[in-house]
A = this chain, B = another copy of it.
Amino acid sequence: MQTKNVILAVDGGATKTVALLFDENKFKIKGIGLAGSSNFTIIGASKAEENLRKAIKEAEGDKADKAVFCLAGIGDSAEDTKRGEEMVRRIFPNAQVYNDGVGAYRATNLFEDGGVFAPGTGSVAFYQKNGVLHRVGGWSWIFGDEGSASWIAKTAITYATRVVDGIEEKSELPHAVEEYFKLPFREAVIKLSKEQDKRLIASFAVIVDELAQRGDPLALRVMKEASEYIVRMINRLKKEGGRVSVIGGVMNSRIIRDEISSLGVSIFYSYQAVIGGLILAGVKMSFEERDMLAKELTQKIYNLPEEELKNYLFINIKSKYSET
């Protein structure tokens, strides 16, 4: 009989890091931890390592027999991969290291052929055909990341400049920019443009979504444009065959969920990608068991302090029990 283990899975992206400690014998979550970005290509390896350690500590990850890290940046280039792997080895010498998209794929589709589109802070898609994974999108946020939170925020701020310039319909967006970034409009835009803090800009997507839900026509246009891209990408992935899933923070938006509801895809939230790490570590599970685990994870996540949820997951606390 195979020895079962206590496994640490870590999923790290541009905005947050999720650590999960899992008892394979009992098929139970033992601990979870959240922290900020561990995308070392954006924030540097030292700050990324700090956030990884924080999330792992909260999950009591030092008790693990085995660890799997799924991180943004791995696979971007040979140099980035080396840098990311070295960072992980300083924390957990024998860990397996993958790109976070691979983790998202395994969490959503297990080992079956199919596709996943992941609109988080940025966006990327993967499909698997005859067992081989292929990447689609993920072109970085100057030219790509369409349908993601950073794209939603960037587009909304662009439309807000048009309102201020008097070439676009009235909208609450300019006022929302001033309020959210606590600066006069032009200063806010110039500052965001110079600093290019992708995570900070992306966090404004929650406000855009709220304005859209309250009927602001321009905010709604942004959300519809994001949906159009997501729909296009889902149809693209469907062409390759197999089940198609969507996972990421943008899935917290009811507008986006409604727009894609007729497409018959499974919807997952960003923190659930960490389950992919368990699968990559060799934990066997059926789709039903994965669903149970995802539900258990959601319950544990919602037991964390509200501040953590707000900081790392951009969950609208007021409606948290209305979602899965």
Contacts and interface: CB of A to CB of B under 8 A. Distances in A.
Interface of A: 76-77, 125, 136-137, 139-144, 146, 154, 157-158, 161, 165-167, 186, 189-190, 192-194, 196, 232-233, 235-236, 239
A143 B167 contact: no
Given A166-B236, A236-B165, A158 B144 contact: yes
Given A76-B190, A190-B76, A143 B166 contact: no
Nearest to A156: B143
A137 B161 contact: yes
A144 B161 contact: yes
A31 B130 CA distance: 68
B236 A189 contact: no
A193 B140 contact: yes
Contact of A189 (B139, B146, B233): B139
B154 A137 contact: no
Contacts of A77: 190
Contacts of A137: 161, 165
Given A76-B190, A190-B76, A143 B165 contact: no
Contacts of A161: 137, 139, 143-144
Contacts of A142: 154, 192-193, 196
A154 B239 CA distance: 28
Contacts of A166: 136, 236, 239
15 contacts: A136-B166, A137-B161, A137-B165, A139-B161, A139-B186, A140-B190, A140-B193, A142-B192, A143-B154, A143-B157, A143-B158, A144-B161, A167-B232, A167-B233, A167-B236
A291 B236 CA distance: 54
Nearest to A190: B140
Most buried by B among A125, A144, A186, A236: A144
Contact of A143 (B136, B141, B189): B189
Most buried by B among A125, A143, A192: A143
A178 to B, nearest CB: 14
A208 to B, nearest CB: 13
B236 A143 contact: no
A189 B140 contact: yes
Most buried by B among A161, A167, A196, A239: A167
A189 B146 CA distance: 15
Given A161-B137, A165-B136, A232-B167, A192 B143 contact: yes
Contacts of A141: 193
Contacts of A76: 190
Q: Enumerate the 8 nearest inter-chain pairs by beta-carbon distance, A residue then B residue, closest first.
A: A140-B193, A142-B193, A139-B161, A167-B232, A143-B158, A167-B236, A143-B157, A136-B165
